[in-house]
Chains A and B, each alone.
Chain A
Amino acid sequence: MKLNKEEIFSEVKKVISDLFEIDEKDIKLDSHLYHDLDLDSIDAINMMGNLKKITNKRIDPVEFITVRTVDDLVVKLQNLLSDERQQPLSGD
C-alpha cells in the first residue's frame, strides 16, 4: 500500500484529531508533538496502535523515539511504507 506524503499527513491529522480532540487545522507539519500539541510519551505510544491502521504494518515504538514533530512522524511512516523488506500484518 503506497501513500504519498500528503495522504500520510492527512491520515495522521485524522488520527491525532480523533484521539486527542485537537482541531485538524491546528496540526501542521512543523507542529511539535509535545510543545505545540501537548502530547506526552504515553499518548505517543497509544497513537502507535492507531497508526498501524494507516501502514498495515507492525510499528516498533522504539523506531519512533526520536520523532518530535508531525513532519518527523510522517517521514518515518513514509519510510516504513516504502520498506520492501518489512512483512505486512496478516489478519490482525
Chain B
Amino acid sequence: MIKKLVYLYKLFLKLVFCLVVGLGAVAYSLIVFPAIYLLPINLGAKQRYSKLVIHYSFKFALIVAKLLRGVRIEVTDSSFLKQNSKIIIANHPSFLDVVILFSLVKRADCIIKKSLFYNPLTAIPINATGYIKNDVLSILEKCNKSLQNGNSLIIFPEGSRTNENQGKLKFLRGAANIALFCKCDFLPVVIRCEPLFLSKNSKWYDYPDSIPCYNLKVMDSFRVDKYVKQYGDKMTSRELTKDIEQMFNSEILKASG
C-alpha cells in the first residue's frame, strides 16, 4: 500500500515537472528569447546569451530535481569540461543525459534534428540559440565555425538513446567525421544511470523503486591527430569510430564489473 502511494507521489512529481517544463518552454519562447533578441547586440551575442539561458535553466532544474530527491548526480573530473572548443562525446542511456551535460558545460553547442526546428514547442528556443541543424550539406562547416568560436560541441555518437537490449554500444560515424574535418580532439564522458530511468525502451510513466543515480565520468582528451594525418587518403572515420566505441564499451564493462 505504502509502495503504491510512493509510486503515485513520484508519478505526480514527474507530471508536475513535465508541466513546469512545458509551461517554461512556452514562457521562454514568448518572453525570454524575444527579449534577448530585442537587445541592441549582434546576432552572435544574442545566440551566446540564449545558450547561457539554456545552461542556467537546466542547471537550476536539476538542482530542484535533486532537492526533491528525484535524481542523484555524481560527476568525476568535471574540471575537464571547462576546456573550450572540444567535441564532447557521451553514451546516451537516458533522456536526462542532455539536460545534465548542458548544465555542466557553459558554452555548449549541439546538433539538432531538422524536425525540431519546426516543432511549435521547440522552434523558438532552438532558432534563438543557433544550435546546428542536422543538414548534411552544411553541418561540417557549421561545426567547425562553432568550435572556432570557442563553443564545445556535445555529440552522442550512438545517434539516439541506447537500446539496452542490444548489449554493447554501437556508434555511428558522425562524431568521427566531424572531429576529423574540424581537426578537434574528443572529450569522452561515460554516463551510467542506475537504476535506468527515461531510457529508450521505458515508458514515460515508468519510475524505478530507488532514486535513479547518474554517474558521469569525464575522461581526458582523446587525441585525433594520428587519424587526421591519414584522412583524405582514406576515410579514417571508420577506424576512429571503432576505437572510441571500444573505449566506451570497455569503460562501461569496467564500471559494472
| A and B: interacting chains | yes
- Nearest Cβ distance between residue B37 and chain A, in whole angstroms? 31
Q: Count contacts on B: residues with CB < 8 A to the other chain.
A: 13
Chain A contacts for B233, CB-based, 8 A: 18
Give the A-binding residues of B (Cβ under 8 A).
136-137, 139-140, 172-174, 177, 233-235, 237-238
Q: Is A21 an interface residue (CB 8 A)?
A: yes
Residue from B139, B174, B235 in contact with A20 in the complex, judged by beta carbons closer than 8 Å: B235
Q: Is A61 an interface residue (CB 8 A)?
A: yes
B137 touching A42, Cβ below 8 Å: no
B172 touching A43, Cβ below 8 Å: no
Instruction: Assess A20 versus B137: contact at CB under 8 Å? Given A40-B172, A42-B173, A42-B177.
Output: no
Q: Choose among A19, A20, A21, A42 the residue with the greatest number of B CB atoms under 10 Å from its CB.
A: A42
A-B residue pair count with CB separations less than 8 angstroms: 33
- Nearest Cβ distance between residue A21 and chain B, in whole angstroms? 6
A19 touching B136, Cβ below 8 Å: no
Interface string of A40-73 (1 = CB under 8 A from B): 1111111000000000000001100000000000
Chain B contacts for A40, CB-based, 8 A: 172-174
- Nearest Cβ distance between residue A61 and chain B, in whole angstroms? 6
Q: Is the interface of A mostly helix, strand, loop or mixed?
A: helix
Cα A9 to Cα B178 in complex, Å, equals 29
A42 touching B238, Cβ below 8 Å: no
A42 touching B234, Cβ below 8 Å: no
Interchain residue pairs A-B with the least CB separation, the first 10: A41-B136, A42-B177, A19-B235, A20-B235, A61-B137, A19-B234, A40-B173, A45-B136, A21-B234, A42-B136
Residue from B139, B173, B234 in contact with A18 in the complex, judged by beta carbons closer than 8 Å: B234
- Nearest Cβ distance between residue B224 and chain A, in whole angstroms? 16
Nearest CB in chain A to that of B174: its residue: A42
Chain A contacts for B174, CB-based, 8 A: 40, 42
